[in-house]
A = this chain, B = another copy of it.
Amino acid sequence: MNRARPEQPPAANLENDPVAVTIYHLTVRWGECDPAGIVFYPNFFSYFDQASWNVFAQVGITRPVMIERFGIVGIPLVDAQASFKWPCRFGDRLEIESHVSEWSTKSFTLQHRIRNGDREAVEGYEVRIWGSKHPEDPNRLKALPVPKEVVTAVNEGTILRE
């Protein structure tokens, strides 16, 4: 896969340019379910969050690497959405399929699909930034461009080069 387009910022993935999909598994916990017996819906976003950290960690971009090598604080959210299609209950084993569907200069978008057995349970996205402390206001975060080697590692599903 030839991704070397040095003069350009990370761009939206082309349709015919497949990106790596990361799979994350989890089992629904008792305390994540509500009195209706189903997962309390904000916890699905918590699942998305775990899956997103995992997308990066799987290619060697753990939070310590983010801090020490890239000088960012984290990958905070600017937008998130989910559609809930099938209920999930205590003990259900879920599979989350995640990939970055777009890298723009200021943010990137993760698509998540949660399967519960052979049903699609939840589908949604997160828009996140590559976030450093704002130089003028410690209470805010500032979006930096995502480094090209990060984009490449995540898109290709290959370990970040030293």
Contacts and interface: CB of A to CB of B under 8 A. Distances in A.
20 contacts: A29-B49, A29-B50, A30-B34, A30-B50, A30-B53, A34-B35, A35-B36, A35-B89, A38-B76, A40-B46, A40-B49, A41-B49, A42-B42, A45-B45, A79-B83, A80-B82, A81-B82, A87-B139, A87-B141, A89-B139
Report the copy number of this chain in the oligomer.
4
Contacts of A43: 31, 42
A67 to B, nearest CB: 10
Interface of A: 29-31, 33-38, 40-43, 45-46, 49-50, 53, 57, 62-63, 73-74, 76-87, 89-91, 139-141
